[in-house]
Structure 1
């Protein structure tokens, strides 16, 4: 090897050592920088010169070393595991926050626990049973009823408002997802430009991009791939999100807008506008406004579909304001007996089939949403209390009305029965009356629909003609017909005149109807409903409320346990990641000393070559 070639070898040693020192210094300067990934200088031998051929191999001279690359030290498998578990934590954390908020709402209402309202109502019923002729006790019951309705409506309104406020979180999350997509696309362009010469590596830009991928994975399920040019393409929920040239933004539509798009105009108009028209659903405008998430599938860890805080928010919020009518009620065999006491099997089996289908719908749409399930169960509680009281103070009986009979509805329209039909009418024979001698007065009224139609003649299937007040049935398709939260008021007649509370016997003797007060107390303690179709135990009013609160607490504890477990999993994987990509100052100082010595060695080597050249030149 010539001395000049040897001099080049020394220079290459200085260069690679200098590059190593620069990389090490860069690592040390970013020890505390969040998201920074340790960089490493990779060296390789430079090209060789062939000066001849020996018997067994070419005769070559090395020209020193060179820097092959300054690479990031990452483990792609740990990255994918970390992002997947981070997304799963985001999914359950968003639901846990929702449960915690509901617990706060149910625990206190304007400083008073809602359970106190129920307890006060029960206490006043007991006191009234002791002295049914006391105007003080009657007034106390009415005042308690007014407070009960106001508090129940206020609490339900807070649940509904919180549900709608989750739209803001969803909107912000969608905006952030789109913003991250734009930033990743911009970083792709910059990285591609920096690395176009195939010499430089834009590692700091890659750190920023990887940090964005970490954040994005917490909000939505993603997969990604880096091509040869350094561009990262990202799929979100299986759909191309960031492509090589642009970002396909996510948008949102209300539930009503989606239904209007799915149904034709006549079908949509026949179903009417939904109360929850402002509930937002994420969609992909680029792909024909298709929904981002398949709402027919319940997220679960088996297929890794329980990932992303956005999906968790939507699942916790639900898609509508739920009511008691959303909870399926199993058919009662006693309602399907003929006049001989035999079961009408065909009718019962058909009702049972419909019930099972309704349970499937409930388990798919209502049960997974903590907000909707709480709303439905809470409304069922209020409905149970109200109807129990009303049906005792203002009882109904069933009659069979003849086909062809025309009646006048409360709104003034007429309706003709096309077949013999079982209907409910006011049972004036067994109904208690007020001190004024009038009966048929309910304690809780619907805001927009009276309990009964006006007295009118009806023809029964047996040919008899009677004068009756027909009961306005509850229709789940008509919210105004329901004894539901938001449609309830205390009967204004009772507020103005407490003597109208029907606690007297209908025999006009003036005696108080002890049986009515006993039925009120008994009804309060009788089981009336299960918490959901997935539970078998029927509860009375107090037990139902305790089961409702207990169920929320249990759900919250379950989510809390999952979140804590996921936090441990994320921390464990991140610790493994940091052991690979994190900067350790001790290791970097060791590398610093190594490259310093290498630099000094290369410098001394050059000095030796220089002295040799000088010696040769001066001796010539």
Structure 2
């Protein structure tokens, strides 16, 4: 009996020592990011049955205490809530950053010069309307128009450049997601190999895996489940990403958008085929990661993740006014308006098109004036009235990447977009080649007034969803104001979402975080238990020594 009590004391020493090691491990990682507090679970060892008597409890003797488990202290509910809400905060943060960048482009970087150029053009129109036959006002009008074109190109190219940066970010996001998936799969295998014997617990590896799940949750809506072996399977946007034995990687396709922009897709769902000439192609129509035509709403969880937000912000091509003027409301609301870059590009290009078209229309109407025809008769300009329009198309439209195909008609729109338009070379060389005069050789006040009214008449809207009519003078300010208002809304949502994330994170930290005071209490407790076990062994040892010495006499 006394010999077995020695084993009881030894079990106390071993268990207390292991508990002290766990406490020391907690204290050593008190500042480690992603570390989860570990908690010791103790239980009794199996009992030895000495005798069994009917109707009486068995006579048993215990074998001491057992260090049954070292478990992580986590809340599955808080983990899931944190990853979802953090992903939502990242969505609005990316959207706000994109809008903030656009606002800088429109107001500071290039936009300040454009706003000034537009205002100068309006001033020159007003001066021109006073005396359209003056060489001074004609030259000023042409020069201001040229400045307007160059500044418009600068702003649009700045928007396109940032759009291209967003496209590069998508490639980086997909690369990091694939890396995270591979790391989770590798950790699954290591955890299973360590815990297969039912003795050790790979808690530090689980901490690393949880940190990866936190990061993956920033990219999109994820769900996950751990099986009895300790393997975590992960779904991303409803599709299996990490399975029990594999990782479904994401690929990048550049053919679907037609402008070299990346379209992420699931590689395992894409299908290869050969076209009519035998060239291998990739069909990703059924392999899209997410449906970007769905409305952005919390109810559908379509406002979660960096990947969706970046894809929406970028859009799928460089938009022009055709995306507003030559499309129905359904196309605009599902494909254009949800992309901050495409929407601003289309609205800005629409302003450019409206200005260019308004000026050219007035000049074309004036070109039919008999006095103008007579004055230009016999010159190089009388065979084509378009030669004395203010603006012309680029000579080689085929070199431009910004004209868009009409899928039904199979034609290419190319009329007066920012990047396919230029100043009329004839007018630049000779600004006075064309003037507003009547058959009586008087100033054509009617045409000059029509030019002025083209700028001041309130008949334009930013997009199909806006009903307020504005003129060309106020159009740009309305565009900038729209961007600023949308950015303010996204910033407000992002800030509120950050408060939610911080609240959940604080609640989670209270559970998973290490408290130095609490761990020191545990350390004292386990030290006392260790000392008690040691004293217990000493007492048993003294008793055995006394018995042996007594019997020896």
- Report the TM-score when normalising by structure 1: 0.80
Distance 2:371 2:351 in 1: 25
Partner SS state of residue 419, structure 2: coil
**Distance change >3 Å, CA 390–CA 328, structure 1 → 2:** closer
The aligned residue for residue 281 of structure 2 is: none
Distance 2:329 2:56 in 1: 83
Query: Which residue among 282, 299, 323 is the counterpart of 2:264?
Result: 282
The aligned residue for residue 25 of structure 2 is: 26
Larger deviation, residues 290-299 vs 197-206: 290-299
The aligned residue for residue 499 of structure 1 is: 432
Deviation of 1:91 after TM superposition, in Å, equals 1.4
The aligned residue for residue 401 of structure 2 is: none
Partner SS state of residue 247, structure 1: coil
Distance 2:56 2:209 in 1: 51
Distance 2:362 2:325 in 1: 24
Unpaired segments ≥5 residues, structure 1:
260-273, 330-354, 397-426, 451-474
Larger deviation, residues 159-168 vs 209-218: 159-168
Distance 1:434 1:144 in 2: 28
Partner SS state of residue 258, structure 1: coil
The aligned residue for residue 258 of structure 1 is: 256
Query: Which residue among 353, 361, 365 is the counterpart of 2:331?
Result: 361
The aligned residue for residue 428 of structure 1 is: 368
The aligned residue for residue 318 of structure 1 is: 315
Distance 2:389 2:256 in 1: 41
Residue pairs, 1:73-472, within 5 angstroms: 73-110=73-110, 112-254=112-254, 257-258=255-256, 274=258, 277-288=259-270, 289=284, 290-328=287-325, 358-395=328-365, 428-429=368-369, 436=376, 440=385, 441-448=388-395
Partner SS state of residue 60, structure 1: strand
Deviation of 1:543 after TM superposition, in Å, equals 2.1
1:45-84 CA distances to partner (integer Å, 9 max, x unpaired)? 1111112235342222211110110010000000000000
Deviation of 1:542 after TM superposition, in Å, equals 2.1
The aligned residue for residue 400 of structure 1 is: none
Report the aligned-residue RMSD: 2.1
Deviation of 1:129 after TM superposition, in Å, equals 2.2
Contact 2:131 2:443 in 1 (8 A): no
Deviation of 1:535 after TM superposition, in Å, equals 1.2
Distance 2:27 2:520 in 1: 8
Taking CA–CA contacts closer than 8 Å with sequence separation of 6 or more, which of the two structures ends up with the larger relative contact order? Answer: 2
Contact 1:328 1:359 in 2 (8 A): no
The aligned residue for residue 43 of structure 1 is: 42
**Distance change >3 Å, CA 247–CA 430, structure 1 → 2:** farther
Number of residue pairs aligned between Structure 1 and Structure 2: 518
Distance 1:12 1:565 in 2: 53
1:292-319 CA distances to partner (integer Å, 9 max, x unpaired)? 1123323321121221101110011111
Structure holding more helix per residue = 2
Distance 1:443 1:294 in 2: 44
Distance 1:431 1:319 in 2: 49
Deviation of 1:618 after TM superposition, in Å, equals 1.0
1:390-421 CA distances to partner (integer Å, 9 max, x unpaired)? 1111129xxxxxxxxxxxxxxxxxxxxxxxxx
Are 1:569 and 2:500 an aligned pair? yes
Partner SS state of residue 35, structure 2: coil
**Distance change >3 Å, CA 13–CA 432, structure 1 → 2:** farther
**Distance change >3 Å, CA 616–CA 385, structure 1 → 2:** same
Partner SS state of residue 310, structure 2: helix
Deviation of 1:532 after TM superposition, in Å, equals 1.0
Contact 2:122 2:473 in 1 (8 A): no
Deviation of 1:132 after TM superposition, in Å, equals 2.5
Deviation of 1:502 after TM superposition, in Å, equals 3.0
1:501-542 CA distances to partner (integer Å, 9 max, x unpaired)? 33111x1x3211112211111221102321111111111012
Partner SS state of residue 395, structure 1: helix
1:395-453 CA distances to partner (integer Å, 9 max, x unpaired)? 29xxxxxxxxxxxxxxxxxxxxxxxxxxxxxx725896696577732111122499xxx
**Distance change >3 Å, CA 196–CA 182, structure 1 → 2:** same
Contact 1:325 1:476 in 2 (8 A): no
Distance 2:482 2:339 in 1: 13
**Distance change >3 Å, CA 295–CA 111, structure 1 → 2:** closer
Distance 1:601 1:542 in 2: 88
1:451-487 CA distances to partner (integer Å, 9 max, x unpaired)? xxxxxxxxxxxxxxxxxxxxxxxx9965563111111
Deviation of 1:117 after TM superposition, in Å, equals 1.1
Distance 1:361 1:495 in 2: 39
The aligned residue for residue 484 of structure 1 is: 417
1:350-409 CA distances to partner (integer Å, 9 max, x unpaired)? xxxxx8xx101110110100001001111111111111111111129xxxxxxxxxxxxx
Query: Which residue among 464, 474, 478 is the counterpart of 1:547?
Result: 478
The aligned residue for residue 14 of structure 1 is: 13
Deviation of 1:494 after TM superposition, in Å, equals 1.0
Deviation of 1:10 after TM superposition, in Å, equals 1.0
The aligned residue for residue 447 of structure 2 is: 516
**Distance change >3 Å, CA 27–CA 109, structure 1 → 2:** closer
Partner SS state of residue 512, structure 1: coil
Contact 2:113 2:151 in 1 (8 A): no
Larger deviation, residues 55-64 vs 310-319: 55-64
Contact 2:322 2:413 in 1 (8 A): no
